[in-house]
Structure 1
Amino acid sequence: MNSTSSGSLHTCSPLTAFILAPNPGPMSLDGTNSYVISAPGASASVVVDPGPADDGHLRRLADAGPVELILVTHRHADHTAGSLRLHELTGAPVRAADPRHCHGGEPLQDGETIRAAGVTLQVLATPGHTSDSICLHLPDDGPHGSVLTGDTILGRGTTMLDYPDGMLGDYLESLDRLEALGPATVLPAHGPVLPSLEAITRAYRDHRHERLAQIRAALVRVGRDATVVDVVDAVYADVDPSVRRAAEMSVAAQLDYLRGLSGA
């Protein structure tokens, strides 16, 4: 998917395809993958993460087939900004965990089963990136099923924690929950499709624990009262300025987690 151009519909699993939104950037990678889901022969589709308020992109999603339902994985604008306009173009209800991002539809509930466009989707609450993050499990999508992971799992690199809305303790629990789904295909909102959810969640957990060890070491050197800026300077000395703010939020989340463990 790294070389995928925006604007075209690209098949990525038996039940899903995506249109890459024209919003590349340091945080969105190649852009937002707006997924179009339907069973073979179905007359309608489900769209997940409409992406930015780009009218051309939204019209291409609307033209990919009659849209029955629009789902949002979390509140960030690169996922939600186009939701209302796609609702206006198609008449399909928009559902998200956060009621503020619902248009004509009810909020999503953890454990809910959705049946639309001939497919079954199961909603999993996976807070951590944001408090309202959800993933969508398609158990019938290929031999091991698939999971649309939003920004909880990316196709390249690791995700940031939008602290204080996103919390590390929640995120680690969400990784445990996703790992239990086994070798499902990973359909991220940014970056390429990955072959095994079980494997990538383990890698993500290892990365988080490595960062925690680095931050513990930095606190020994700098002092336990070190600020977020102090720790970022020590641990992320070579971070690109374009993602400095993301590094600071992730460090803040990790400091909060460590201080909670210590009772400080």
Structure 2
Amino acid sequence: MDWAAAEWADGQLRVWQGDQTLTAPCRDDPAAVLRELLLPLLVRGQVVSVIASGWPGVEPQRVPCPPPTPGPFVTVDPQIRLHPLPGLVQDRPADLIDNAVPRILGHLAKDPNFDGVLCLPGRPSAWVQISAGEVVSFRSFLTVEILSALCDLADGPDSAGFADAVGQAMSRPAALAAELASVRAERALARIGPAEAQARMAGLLIGAELAAARPWWLGQNVTVIGTGWLADCYAGALTAHGVTAGRADPAQAWRDGMRSAHRAL
């Protein structure tokens, strides 16, 4: 291939070229790590274009707008031409997302007539309103970061208590901090186990997020781009409140989005 894709997120750089995916820790110099990962794959004199999301110093695109396309290339090595993919920014409410953009692009590449809301669970989670081929608005949430600070996310939560906690938080979101403290107290007193505590905390946090994101999903066509227990939690919470969400694979959406971005060069 004469091009590759890269993503800088969560302290790691991930590079995808052809059928190879490489990752490496990366805190503050993604260009250096990109060279370390990519140059051994190239033959002498070969020049590749790299579509990169989450890249530092890139001016985001203001919504409402069509999905972003890669900017002009920056030479990070004689053999590497980096095309940064802008993030998205909005003023009211103030918000910024970047690594969700390839998945948005990928979903629209597969379904260009999609009209509705994309729910992207993750760090952060994001709700993105799409209409007439444009990103109209979005809202992101630090739900998973807060949950990971409260409990171990190595395994998914037990289902016990999750749905009730979602409903509890949606009906009384102002009591969220107090209800989280109650769950922690019950766990410390050995009244509940770690799996149930995690399920209830996840339910409370996701329920509070659903309450705040109600304008983005109520009465909307919603697709959850995610797999695993976290995406299952979002889809289950939506189903419990009358929204049957579609599902899409985030890895496939990311690859489709990067292909779409490359075609736009």
Q: Do they fold alike, i.e. is TM over 0.5? A: no
- Asked which structure has the greater CA Rg, the reply is 2
Higher relative contact order (CA 8 A, sep 6+): 2
Higher strand share: 2
Q: Please report the TM-score for the alignment, with normalisation by the length of structure 2.
A: 0.31
